[in-house]
Amino acid sequence: MVSSRRLLIIGGAAGPGLLGRFVALAGGPAARIVVIATASSVPAAAASSFGETFAELGAGEVRELPLYTRGEANLDQPLLRRATGVFFTGGDQERIAQVIGGTATDSLLHSLATVIAGTSAGAAAMSGTMIVEGDAVGVSRAGVRTGPGLEFLPGVLIDQHFAERGRVNRLLSAVALYPHELGLGIDEDTAILTDGDRFEVLGSGAVTVVDAGAATDIRVPAQGPITLADARIHVLAAGHTFHLTGRRPVVDAPAAERGVA
């Protein structure tokens, strides 16, 4: 489950704090950021909008990498080879997997040591098993549809716009179907920043972690509600960390207990 690169995985609607953190991680004035807007229905406009924002936040260079077909994704990518940061926009996460998955660009992205960020659909695509959609009432097999992601962060299921769109049922459904995966529900203007075997929560919301590893009973019928007993749920606000392999949160003491004014 350990990733060798740093990932900034944003739940959507990122404010300047999170986007500025990405620019800083990419090198600030020395940054060479590549925006991949494959997920967007208007990719050129999406790339341009983020490009302007990153420039305003102090990025030295921002370029779009247009990847609209698998043919383009199988070409050599000199922009990526010199990039210090790669950013995936929102849109349709299936589009990312269908265009990029398994291509030469996919292999190159996995070999890069640079920071990779994604928001909304760009966040969902970073997991190995990707949540595609699901809005059925209750926790059930029909409550979620999944597909293959790019697997930048294996061993997790990532859901975005989590609290704002009430997606707890579909994350629970997904974790019941894939209990070996940790479920990560990331709120808007909230992100996880990975660092080896752990991630830190950033931003204004929270990250909900659903862990079915210790569940004593999981029953997923073809139809009807799922049974999921003794699963663990952690809700982590900014500043707290989570160890992925050990599946354990590290929650700091309140500021008053630490003598912080």
Strands 85-88 and 115-119: parallel
Calpha distance 6→178 (Å, rounded):
25
What's the count of helices (H) and strands (E) in the chain, helices before strands? 8, 17
Is 253 inside any structural domain? Answer: no
pLDDT tens digit at each of 261 positions of the chain: 455 589 999 999 999 999 999 999 999 999 999 999 999 999 999 999 999 999 999 999 999 999 999 999 999 999 999 999 999 999 999 999 999 999 999 999 999 999 999 999 999 999 999 999 998 889 999 999 999 999 999 999 999 999 999 999 999 999 999 999 999 999 999 999 999 999 999 999 999 999 999 999 999 999 999 999 999 999 999 999 999 999 999 986 554 444 444
Is 107 inside any structural domain? Answer: yes
CATH number for the domain that contains residue 185: 3.40.50.880
Owning domain of residue 51: 7-242
Is 252 inside any structural domain? Answer: no
Is 58 inside any structural domain? Answer: yes
Classify residue 254 by its DSSP letter. Answer: P
Q: How far apart are the first and last CA of the chain?
A: 37
Is 236 inside any structural domain? Answer: yes
Which burial class, exposed, middle or buried, applies to 62 when counting CB atoms under 10 A from its CB (0-12, 13-18, 19+)? buried
∠ at Cα 53 (195, 107), nearest 5°?
Answer: 45
Enumerate the H helices of the chain as residue ranges: 16-26, 43-56, 70-73, 78-81, 93-100, 104-111, 121-124, 168-177
Is 254 inside any structural domain? Answer: no
Is 224 inside any structural domain? Answer: yes
Q: How many domains does the chain have?
A: 1
Is 125 inside any structural domain? Answer: yes
pLDDT tens readout for residues 71-86: 999 999 999 999 999 9
pLDDT tens readout for residues 110-153: 999 999 999 999 999 999 999 999 988 899 999 999 999 999 99
